[in-house]
Structure 1
């Protein structure tokens, strides 16, 4: 809905005439308009702006003032995202000119589809009157012939037409209007039936057939919206799982199972066993609330301040813009909950600056991708992962946020020293004093951090996540009143509109992930996977962990973090728990690998987004980001061998493990970059790797051995460094 086409406005002031208080970052908070998102004007813009504001306001009111019945609330939550999503995101590429738009007959055919779509919606109202008149259930013939078949046909044809219908970017597609009506009809029937005793019949032979028809249409609509906002990867995985439901009886070995009928499966998948389950529970409460919080921060330009603060703090260090990317991406990424989105928002600024001080395009893109991915593991918000983990495991959110502290430090320490050693190796400079904002000026606005501090304090004081999030959102508006970007009524409405738009992708992804979770729970494939891991653990627990790592990364490839973790948590985590691993350790293990799938070749969403900005080869960038984020592939194994890494143990154990693991990460970074205080020979790199692994392992004896190796390397490198300096001086 934004009138801007992209985020190219974010950038640099003219270097030729730097001002002493130069503002380096501008436009970081601008709404990024995706390639398939419509840009409306006039009454259409007003209409969808109003819908987005109403959608965000509905959640704030329902969560804080007038709560709804749980299933009804989640259905409305998904349906609102479907209506907004089909209105704002096109199903096909936009026409480059008026001459390339779709023919008139396709437009009229799309409008004609509205007749059966509106008929099914009318039938929902008729059925509501029937049940209100005292009927116990609806006639199956009416459900099938007057609701099910028309709804299914209209939905399927509308989706296919939307794939081929091309129009200008500012115009609305009538086929998408059909899909919006079908979304209402499907949700209307489910709301009607789920508020009667018939709700108890889901998953049985006595369930009304209309539930299955509404669930099939609803699932198709969710898959189509997911394709539009998140790409094909998650859709393909969902289709594979859905195929398994009906192909299972014909599969050999541990994958085989007796099978489910179409009616039994679909009458149950659109309940809290599937689509309305944990993923939607989290997206309809915590995620939507923190998206609204992030939108309020954006509307008050706090994102610009975060990036400028990072420039002032780290810009003058060697390789400064790369270190700025680490700090800025960590701050932004923990809030916005998407690695690729974080790359686009901060990378448009940091990547050109990194290239300016000497980083090759590939390294610049890789550093930004790795740093943006790390934002997903940065407490206290952790994108949305901490809330999903709390929902699935029942472990208090505060305990999860505390457990994430040391792993996050290790991850960002790894990227920092990777960047630092590369900058030293290549002789890169930092930014000049007149190229960055004055730290003394930015410190005067440090109060802009107040909303995040209030959020953290409220959570640890025992406030519920919803109350703490609402309080932080309100404080963002209040704090803006003493900043240069005051939020009045218009700015607040803009924030609510932005939140409604930002929420579409994550809600679609969570609903789609819920579909997969439903397949896993209803077919029992998770239990069979657990038995496979149990068999591997009988041979070697390390082998079982390695296999779990591969599956978590594979399931996460091409998927947003939230969906990647939700699916991995359903498939892999129960198996790890069954082989004796603590639930917190098991879930953090799969969460980390679901997150780093964004920088794992061959499908690395964050790396590909960074390559698009840096202009380098996407695959090369993904390999480079994999190398920079290498620590993230080792740290999860540390959870298993040293639970103190997740704050489980005495404070002395936690302190020892944290310090030695950080030193180990430094050695690992030096080994990868072949530089410590100077260039490293092959045998020194091998020795450094051994020392790093000893300290990362976490045992007392291995820590001592690692410290001895590290100290010897420091002494050796310092002597060589002094020798080189004397030779250079002579």
Structure 2
């Protein structure tokens, strides 16, 4: 080969040592199109707020716990203030044009500050009244001096923010109004929920001020969600909110007696809704692991992970695609968002995949499928495991162990899909001079220590919070022996990064809490369960198929965390109602909520990858659906073979794991038309039958699938000439 002489040259090691720039920038912060870039005192102000926000959570979780509801209220309020500070509601003005916002908009913003600050002032007066022994606030005072000014300022501020355009480096007066409204709403909840009136929520005795604050708070959450996660979740939330008041007029199983505005909103901002399980998880586990991920980013561990993947898998055929599987799966597990991970690692892996011969749509689809798989990869599972533990009461460690075989099957499927496509198209791997040396990277293998410490601490019985804190601290300590040492400045930068990274997921969890509140308060989940029960009497497979469709539909266009939280509230109780074990039911729902990110027609991860690869978005989503096909089959096997979730004897678990893996290989072969050589259409069909038999998990189906696999293998080995001819083509 042409590069062989260089391999022995004296200056070779330094040249290879420079290879890591191939993976530089993986840890760089992704700046969204509507994200402000502050300078000067504004930068210092919001950087300090972000650091304080992250530090507040570390302190409260580890040193001085706050009362639960108060902690969650502050958690959401802080995210709203940071979110409205960092994300604009309209397009930016170009500074080089010299354009300025229209004067009347600016003056209207200042006018709206008056009712916003007045509502905040009244919160202080209410607190003073309770301190002086008052039992409740006069309803007229709550309405005219707090509730109506707050709602008016919130609604008008949101609408003004849609048309108020400012340069990227400047704060927006409309968003300042919304920040004050967020403080006033949260302040009222803190005052009332720390008084005996907290017990009145959901009753006719509840003060209307709770409903006023909840309406304003819900509007602010919905608007921030629109800015950071798009319209999909907002539209779904509005549909559910409309159902609250339209439900009494709907026919059939959707109908219910109805709730008044006051009664519904007096409950939606409690642990039955917004302050419920989704915010419980975002305020503890998710924020903690975002801080952990930020510390890893600050110490440049992401760059190391990707370079390690290049060194380990880069030489294999289709090398960059296999690097994407390893690196994106690992990073996606930590950062908890499929589309976000596509942007961070895909900007590196997708161009390299195209360079070795993958079409644009395949390169994007592979990255999307791998990043989506990170959400089902234990031990972190993109925070999904923590929400599942919160909702089901099943210990986190049990959930992480149960996720092991399904995750292996998914990544095995993606790996062999990639490998067989590379073999079919005769692709090469990367040359040794294109990748860093493995021997060099092994010397820094200690950078994996924080993740190892995290897993070890969890399985030693430490709480998730304590384990996450230890892992975060270890990330800083490990950096001291790496090229990117973390001093005080870097630690503060990591805390600031964590504060900004957390905005999206907290907004999404709070918005999902609105949907969960509607489901729990209207009883629509129970009616859906009865529908599933009726279908199960007809056919359990039909009931599972229907549950799959609803889970995917609910998850389309939504981040993983919100998708699972909503689907778990709607679909999982119905599956449990037809006799499925809670762990199996929730894993079934979780998988389909996750793969909604690569399911056409609304596939967030695939669309993000298409934006990088330059391919058609729909073609990319169809291809990623094909690559991740195993994720649409395996969940059905949870029901027919619970051993896949580690439920059964060691022998049963081993047999199911091995046979299902073989079945996954045969599935990939059927999809990619390559099984030890190119295969004809009828062979692909037989391979598909054999794959389903192996994945199914029954002893007789396993034997049948194995026989099919062996016979086709022997047949393929007898056709070397055809295979080589096809490979050359």
- Give TM-score, length-normalised by structure 2: 0.97
* SS, match of residue 423 in structure 1: helix
How many Å apart are 1:214 and its aligned residue? 0.2
Residues 74-223 of structure 1 correspond to what in structure 2 (within 5 A)?
74-97=72-95, 98-223=97-222
Q: Deviations over 1:486-510 (max 9, x none)?
A: 0000000000000000000000000
Matched, 1:56 2:54: yes
Secondary structure of the residue aligned to 1:407 is helix
- Aligned twin of 1:3: none
What does residue 624 of structure 1 align with?
623
Mapping of residues 250-289 of structure 1, within 5 Å: 250-289=249-288
Instruction: Indicate the SS of the match to 2:89.
Output: coil
CA distance in 2, matches of 1:717, 1:332: 38
Matches within 5 A, 1:7-18: none
Residue of structure 2 equivalent to 1:374: 373
Distance 2:619 2:727 in 1: 36
1:103 is displaced (CA, Å) by 0.6
Question: 1:250-649 maps to which residues of 2 (within 5 A)?
Answer: 250-649=249-648
Q: Distance in 1 between matches of 2:567 and 2:94?
A: 40
More deviation, 601-610/126-135? 126-135
Checking the alignment, whether the CA contact within 8 Å between 1:179 and 1:221 is kept in structure 2 is yes
Name the structure 2 match of 1:10.
Answer: none
Residue of structure 2 equivalent to 1:45:
43
Q: Considering only aligned residues, what root-mean-square deviation do their CA atoms show, in Å?
A: 1.4
Deviation sequence 1:223-267 (CA, Å, 0-9, x none): 000000000000000000000000000000000000000010000
Instruction: State the 4+ residue runs in structure 1 displaced beyond 4 angstroms.
Output: 97-100, 722-729
Aligned-partner Cα distance in 2 for 1:251–1:718: 63
Q: CA deviation at 1:348?
A: 0.1
Provide the rounded CA distance (Å) in 1 between the counterparts of 2:467 and 2:307.
27
Q: Taking structure 1 as reference, are residues 483 and 152 closer, same or farther at Cα in structure 2, changes over 3 Å only?
A: same
Contact 2:426 2:727 in 1 (8 A): no
Decide whether aligned partners of structure 1 residues 604 and 725 sit closer, same or farther in structure 2, where only a CA change above 3 A counts: closer
Cα offset, 1:724, TM superposition? 5.0
Report the equivalent of 2:671.
672
Q: CA deviation at 1:111?
A: 1.4
The answer as to whether partners of 1:369 and 1:606 remain within 8 angstroms in 2 is yes
Q: Give, in angstroms, the shift of residue 167 of structure 1.
A: 1.0
Q: CA deviation digits over 1:123-175, x for unaligned, max 9?
A: 00011111111111000010000001100100000000000011111111000
Once the two structures are TM-superposed, the CA of residue 96 in structure 1 deviates from its matched residue by 2.7
Check conservation: 1:387, 1:397, Cα contact below 8 A. Answer: yes
Distance 2:660 2:590 in 1: 20
Structure 2 CA distance for aligned equivalents of residues 549 and 727 of structure 1: 38
Contact 1:573/1:590, CA 8 A, preserved across alignment: yes
Q: CA deviation at 1:683?
A: 1.1
Is 2:23 the partner of 1:25?
yes
Q: 2: distance between equivalents of 1:725 and 1:685?
A: 19
In the alignment, the residues of structure 2 paired with residue 279 and residue 106 of structure 1 have an alpha-carbon distance, to the nearest angstrom, of 36
For structure 2, which runs of at least 5 residues remain unmatched after alignment?
Answer: 1-11
Look up the SS of the partner of 1:19 in the other structure. helix
- Structure 1 residues 133 and 349: CA distance shift in structure 2, 3 A: same
The separation in 1 between residues aligned to 2:652 and 2:545, in whole angstroms, is: 26
The worse-fitting range, judged by mean Cα deviation, of 673-682 and 663-672 is 673-682
Structure 1 contact 100–166 (Cα < 8 Å) conserved: no
Residue deviations 1:25-53, cap 9 Å, x none? 00100000000000001110000000000
The 10-residue stretch of structure 1 (718-727 or 102-111) with the greater mean CA deviation from structure 2:
718-727
Preserved contact between residue 557 and residue 603 of structure 1 (Cα < 8 Å): yes
In 2, the alpha carbon distance for the partners of 1:181 and 1:534 equals: 48
User: Could you say if the C-alpha distance between residues 193 and 692 of structure 1 is closer, same or farther in structure 2, counting changes exceeding 3 Å?
Assistant: same
Q: What is the Cα deviation at residue 116 of structure 1?
A: 1.1
Pairs aligned (count): 714
Report the more deviating stretch, 633-642 or 710-719: 710-719
List per-residue Cα deviations over 1:64-111 (Å, max 9, x = no partner).
Answer: 000000000000000000000000000011113445442112112101
Deviations 1:505-550 (A, max 9, x none): 0000000000000000000000000000000000000000000000
CA distance in 2, matches of 1:101, 1:32: 27
Say whether the 8 Å CA contact 2:424–2:727 is kept in structure 1. Answer: no
**SS of the counterpart of 1:168?**
coil
Q: Aligned to 1:170, what secondary structure does the other structure show?
A: coil
**3-state SS of 2:243 partner:** helix
Cα offsets for 1:350-380 (capped at 9, x unmatched) = 0000000011111000000000000000000
Hey, what's the Cα distance between the residues in 2 that align with 1:216 and 1:101?
33
What is the alpha-carbon distance in structure 1 between the residues aligned to residue 133 and residue 480 of structure 2?
Answer: 56
Quote the offset at 1:112 in angstroms: 1.8
For residues 480 and 725 of structure 2, the distance between their equivalents in structure 1, rounded to whole angstroms, comes to: 57
Q: Once the 2 structures are TM-superposed, how far is the Cα of residue 203 of structure 1 from its aligned partner?
A: 0.1
How far residue 717 of structure 1 moved from its aligned partner, in angstroms, is 1.1
Verify the 8 A CA contact 1:18 1:434 in the aligned structure 2: no
What aligned pairs does 1:212-251 form with structure 2 within 5 A after superposition?
A: 212-251=211-250
Between the aligned partners of 2:493 and 2:554, the Cα distance in structure 1 is 36
Q: Which runs of 5+ in 1 are unaligned?
A: 1-15
- Which residue matches 2:4? none
Distance 1:381 1:452 in 2: 10
Give the match for residue 65 of structure 1. Answer: 63
Maintained 8 Å contact 2:677/2:723:
no
CA distance in 1, matches of 2:105, 2:86: 20
Mapped to 1, the partners of 2:613 and 2:725 lie a distance apart of 39
Q: Distance in 1 between matches of 2:723 and 2:621?
A: 35
Return the alpha-carbon distance in structure 2 between the equivalents of residues 548 and 661 of structure 1: 23
**By how many angstroms is 1:721 displaced?**
2.4
Aligned counterparts of 1:27 and 1:724: Cα–Cα separation in 2: 41
Cα 1:94–1:18 change in 2 (3 A) is farther
Aligned position for 1:12:
none
CA contact (8 A) 1:677 1:721 kept: no
**Structure 1 residues 130 and 420: CA distance shift in structure 2, 3 A:** same
Contact 1:18–1:435 (Cα < 8 Å) also in 2: no
Distance change (3 Å), C-alpha of 1:289 and 1:524? same
Cα distance change, pair 724–474 in 1 and its aligned pair in 2 (3 A): closer
Rounded Cα–Cα distance in structure 1 between residues aligned with 2:723 and 2:195: 82
CA-to-partner distance for each residue in 1:180-212, whole Å, 9 max, x for gaps?
000000000000000000000000000001000
